[in-house]
């Protein structure tokens, strides 16, 4: 019963790619409030605190609530129960809302748990919680159990109710739990609504089908359920470690196929099964049967491939076990069951009533404390896994798409499933048109200035052409609709509503009188003239700014030209001075070459001439540097 069985089945389902043909959902774990719809408060509070250490300290409570032989306490027991129960409750909600016709939860099916006691490896009875959820929408619910053990927990929960019929095919005698006699048929209003089919050891596929199909056919005809919950425990297979039947995988799946053919909303749950490799094989094959998909007998490679050796095939064959169920015994059982069903009435005791709301979320101190502890343990996580699971919603809960426009604004809507069943559900989109109109009015009023301005600009053009102001309401509506792109329109300060299916809009002629139309025309004309004068003022201010900018640019260009001419003049003067000095130097050199140097020339004059030549060269160099700097300044000015 450990979660290892679920991992093996899920791995093999994914290896066959069967999950691609289903909608895989992550259900929200069940809360203690949901569990106490059936279980006692004291028992659930004990499971919250249950652990091996706590069980030793509270021995009296442990002996009261748990059975150490098959239901020992372990760490995380409440989390395990909440996950299993949450899956079955979410599956029932899927059927109630018409989202699915068949829902599978192989981790459920714990049918032995009692109201205040754990039994048979079962701590919380998820089947009872799922049936209670289905009873919110369906007048009658059928529970079918093909586990080798009797579904005593579910039968006990609805033993006095005529809205739930329990049918169990099980081993009876010196076998756990020791209940499920043929004469156990219910009490009070639930009399004849508990059907038990006690079987003997070694029943095979053909014998099982010969008693299963006629009884279930009669049950469907008489009871006429609105939904079916089927517990598919695999401990009735051949070779199970705790079972004593001789069913093959095909014989077990034949029961699932038979119930599927009725076309009634079906919730398939797991259950017992203690030869783990056969449990995974059977549930995978039954998943393919529910999907109408053929799968290969050769097992594909998966995470637990070595567990299926040495055959590595998708099959659980029957053995040569002796069948102790004689034809006379089976005929006697069928006659007795048919006699009990003859007393069943078609109409249950429930009357038509309003469907109660879905189960609330965290609304108790215990759940609030759980959220706080989860947040404290994951301080570095912005949104924890528990918080994310609490906000999981499906698309149909956010938006409803109906072909009939007249039902969009109604309080309820009809949903027809593929099986032909029609369910009336509350419409979450009720009043959507009114909310949309209100929100659109606020958005459009903020952007109405743009629309009014562009419209008045067009009218000003018509005024300059014709000499007077002419308004055309239809043209204004078309232009405003194109520019705002909204379903609602505004004409001046008057809101035009498109209407809804339940409240159609009236024509403008019936809303506005002639006097209001004339007043509206005068107001519009006045507004047009005001906006016209404002636009002319804006136009003049723009032209003045453009003129000032142009004059500033011209002044800057003149300054640049003056600076350029001054720099050119200075450069010309420097060049002429430099050329004159160079010419003097050359003349001096020429005279010195032509004439013999007079020895009487003083040394001081020669040094003076040399100094003058050096100074002239430095002046030329400085002038060249100044010229380059002026060119750079000129380029900078041009860039500005």
d(CA 42, CA 49): 11
Q: Which two tokens stand for residue 366?
A: 């215990």
167-176 core/surface letters (b: 16 or more CB in 10 A; e: else): bbbbbbeebe
Angle between helices 205-223 and 327-341 (to 10 degrees): 10
- Residue 86 CA to its chain's centroid (Å): 18
d(CA 295, CA 337): 37
- Could you give the count of Cα atoms lying within 13 Å of 454 in the half-sphere of its Cβ? 14
| CB contact at 8 A, 436 and 450 | no
Q: Which two tokens stand for residue 415?
A: 């949903």
Among 67, 1, 96, 92, smallest CA distance to 421 is for: 96
What is the sign of the dihedral through the CA atoms of 348, 350, 352 and 358? negative
Angle between helices 448-466 and 473-484 (to 10 degrees): 140
3-state secondary structure 617-630: HHHHHHHHHHHHHH
Tabulate helix, strand, coil % of the chain (nearest 5). 55, 10, 40
| CB contact at 8 A, 124 and 81 | yes
| CB contact at 8 A, 194 and 155 | yes
d(CA 44, CA 31): 10
- Could you give the count of Cα atoms lying within 13 Å of 137 in the half-sphere of its Cβ? 22
Which of 10, 39, 111, 112 is catalytic? The answer is: 112
Beta strand 489-491 with 494-496 is antiparallel
Residue 291 sits at φ, ψ, to 5 deg, of: -90, -5
Kindly tell me the burial class for residue 337, based on how many C-beta atoms sit within 10 Å of its own C-beta (0-12, 13-18, 19 or more). buried
| DSSP SS3 for 188 | helix
Neighbours of 259 (CB within 10 A): 20
Give yes or no: 97 in active site: no
| CB contact at 8 A, 460 and 528 | yes
| CB contact at 8 A, 388 and 374 | no
Among 93, 143, 154, 89, smallest CA distance to 259 is for: 143
Among 31, 72, 66, smallest CA distance to 46 is for: 66
Active site (catalytic) residues: 112
């Amino acid at each position: 019963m450990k979660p290892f069985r679920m991992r093996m089945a899920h791995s093999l389902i994914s290896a066959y790619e069967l999950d691609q043909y289903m909608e895989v959902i992550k259900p929200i774990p069940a809360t203690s409030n949901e569990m106490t719809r059936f279980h006692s408060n004291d028992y659930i509070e004990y499971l919250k605190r249950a652990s091996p250490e706590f069980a030793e300290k509270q021995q009296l409570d442990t002996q009261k609530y748990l059975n150490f032989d098959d239901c020992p306490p372990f760490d995380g027991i409440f989390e395990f129960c909440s996950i299993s129960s949450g899956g079955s409750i979410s599956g029932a909600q899927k059927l109630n809302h018409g989202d699915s016709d068949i829902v599978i939860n192989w981790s459920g099916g714990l049918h032995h748990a009692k109201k205040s006691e754990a039994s048979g490896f079962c701590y919380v009875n998820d089947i009872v919680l799922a049936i209670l959820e289905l009873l919110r929408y369906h007048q009658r619910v059928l529970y079918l159990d093909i586990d080798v053990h009797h579904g005593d927990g579910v039968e006990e929960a609805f033993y006095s109710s005529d809205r739930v019929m329990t049918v169990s095919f099980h081993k009876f005698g010196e076998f756990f739990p020791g209940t499920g006699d043929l004469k156990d048929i219910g009490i009070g209003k639930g009399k004849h609504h508990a059907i038990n089919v006690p079987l003997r050891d070694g029943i095979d596929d053909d014998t099982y089908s010969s008693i299963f199909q006629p009884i279930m056919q009669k049950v469907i005809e008489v009871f006429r359920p609105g939904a079916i919950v089927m517990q598919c425990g695999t401990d009735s297979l051949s070779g199970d470690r705790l079972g004593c039947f001789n069913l093959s995988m095909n014989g077990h799946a034949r029961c699932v196929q038979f119930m599927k053919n009725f076309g009634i909303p079906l919730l398939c749950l797991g259950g017992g099964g203690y030869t783990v490799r056969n449990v995974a094989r059977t549930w995978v094959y039954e998943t393919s049967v529910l999907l109408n998909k053929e799968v290969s007998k050769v097992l594909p490679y998966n995470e637990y491939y070595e567990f299926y050796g040495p055959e590595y095939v998708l099959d659980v064959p029957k053995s040569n076990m002796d069948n102790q169920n004689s034809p006379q015994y089976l005929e006697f059982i069928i006659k007795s069951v048919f006699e009990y069903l003859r007393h069943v009435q078609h109409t249950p005791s429930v009357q038509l009533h309003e469907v109660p709301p879905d189960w609330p979320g965290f609304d108790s101190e215990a759940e609030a404390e759980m959220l706080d502890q989860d947040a404290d343990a994951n301080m570095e996580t912005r949104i924890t896994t528990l918080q994310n699971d609490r906000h999981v919603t499906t698309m149909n809960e956010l938006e409803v798409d109906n072909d009939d426009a007249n039902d969009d604004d109604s309080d309820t809507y009809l949903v027809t499933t593929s099986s032909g069943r029609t369910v009336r559900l509350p419409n979450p989109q009720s009043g959507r048109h009114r909310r949309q109109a209100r929100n659109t009015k606020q958005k459009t009023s903020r952007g109405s200035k743009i629309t009014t301005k562009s419209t008045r600009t067009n009218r000003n053009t018509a005024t300059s052409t014709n000499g007077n102001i002419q308004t055309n309401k239809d043209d204004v509506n078309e232009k405003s609709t194109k520019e705002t792109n909204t379903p609602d329109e505004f004409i001046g300060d008057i809101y035009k509503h498109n209407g809804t299916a339940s409240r159609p809009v009236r024509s403008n002629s019936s809303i506005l009188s002639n006097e209001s139309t004339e007043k509206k025309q005068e107001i519009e004309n006045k507004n047009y003239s005001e906006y016209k004068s404002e636009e002319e003022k804006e136009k003049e201010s723009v032209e003045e700014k453009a003129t000032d900018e142009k004059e500033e640019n011209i002044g800057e260009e003149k300054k640049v030209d003056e600076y350029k001419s001054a720099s050119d003049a200075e450069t010309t003067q420097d060049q002429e001075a430099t050329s004159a000095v160079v010419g003097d130097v050359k003349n001096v050199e020429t005279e010195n070459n032509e004439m013999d140097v007079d020895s009487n020339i003083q040394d001081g004059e020669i040094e003076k001439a040399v100094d003058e030549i050096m100074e002239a060269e430095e002046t030329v160099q400085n002038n060249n540097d100044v010229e380059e700097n002026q060119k750079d300044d000129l380029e900078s000015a041009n860039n500005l």
